[in-house]
Amino acid sequence: MSFLRIHAQPGRTAVWTLSWFLFAAGIVVYFYVAEQRHRENPDDRVMPTISQMVRGFSDAALKPAEEEETQTGGGSSIVARFRASMLWKDTLASGRRFVISVALLFPAVLLGLHMAMFPVIGAFFLRFILFFDKIVALSLLPILFIAFGIDELSKIMLIVIGVAPTIILDTFNLSKSVPREQVVKGFTLGASDFSITYRIVFKQIWPRVLNSIRLNLKAVMLFLFAGEMIASTDGLAYRIALLRRHMGMDIIIPYVLWVALLLFLVDFGMNKLNHKLHPWFEER
């Protein structure tokens, strides 16, 4: 049983096989169970077969959305048909909210940085943010809907309120972890407070902050979905909630996988960008 020991060194093929095994097993088990259920009940809607899901997803991705149908009548090329589809419209709506919410996290990064660097700012905000971080963001949803209405602002506020305190505190801790010697060194080299904050500390923590934002992307999506499911007329989560009423599992499952794929691509892109922009960071 040496392959289970701490010192085990699995080869390339073994690592590749092991890392894909659960994906393959999940797919095989799903389709086996789905096949069995459809043999017993051909009208089963809980676990659609692969052909049903392909049909459902291609309808969502290539057929014009209801409101577009009358306007365009559907284009000829695949790209044109995709851009007129329900999936594209929903992705754009959710994507816009997602991008705005992530962009709004950058002031949170700056606040965390300044709290760590300037003791007065830290004293002013830290206790409040620590308390605020403990508030369950979803419990604020009714308050947000009452305060901001049920349009875009309340959904974006929910994401910001849910994720910003974590990002602020993470940035605060990362900034505090920069060795004091670096700050002292900066002063002895003639740097001002702001030069030390931005050109020494911020530049050192930035790759880690990006990683922190990457880790919180799922939380961003979680709050985005909660807002869309409750009060929206478009977006990926709105569509999933709508299809749930009709038990449209043949579209829900591909939608869930589509969201996971998008999130994976955003995460992958950010990771690659982080490596590219900060070659010193990963090599250390």
Partner 1 sequence: MHAAIQIDRVHVDYPVAGQTARSVLNGISLQIESGEFVAVVGETGCGKSTLLRLILGEEKPTRGRVLVNSFERSQPDRHCGYVPQKYSLFPDKTVLDNVTFGPEVSEFGAWSVLRRVYSKRMRGFREEALRYLRHTGLDESDARKYPHQLSGGMQQRVAIAQALMMKPPILLMDEAFSALDPGTRTGMQRLIKTLWRESGTTIVFVTHNTREAVCLGTRIIALAKDGDGNRGSSVALDLAVPHLDFDSDEGDIAGLIRTVESATVRERPLVYN
Classify residue 132 as left (phi > 0), alpha (psi -120 to 50) or beta. alpha
Query: Which lies closer to partner 1 via its Cβ, residue 23 or residue 194?
Result: 194
3-state secondary structure of 85: strand
Min dist CB 192 to partner 1, Å, is: 6
Query: Which lies closer to partner 1 via its Cβ, residue 200 or residue 210?
Result: 200
DSSP 43: T
Query: Which lies closer to partner 1 via its Cβ, residue 11 or residue 279?
Result: 279
Query: Which lies closer to partner 1 via its Cβ, residue 127 or residue 199?
Result: 199
What is the rounded distance in angstroms from the CA atom of residue 90 to the CA atom of residue 68? 13
Query: Which lies closer to partner 1 via its Cβ, residue 52 or residue 204?
Result: 204
Q: Under a CB-based contact definition with an 8 Å cutoff, are residues 228 and 236 in contact?
A: yes
Min dist CB 279 to partner 1, Å, is: 8
Q: List residues near partner 1 by CB under 8 A.
A: 179, 181-182, 184-192, 194-195, 197-200, 203-204, 278-281, 283-284
Min dist CB 195 to partner 1, Å, is: 4
Min dist CB 65 to partner 1, Å, is: 47
What is the rounded distance in angstroms from the CA atom of residue 100 to the CA atom of residue 102? 6
Min dist CB 55 to partner 1, Å, is: 52
CB-based contacts of 55: which residues, under 8 Å, 6+ apart? 250
* Nearest alpha-carbon partner for 188 in 176, 178, 205, 200: 200
Matching residue, tokens 């365009």:
72
Q: Under a CB-based contact definition with an 8 Å cutoff, are residues 96 and 152 in contact?
A: no
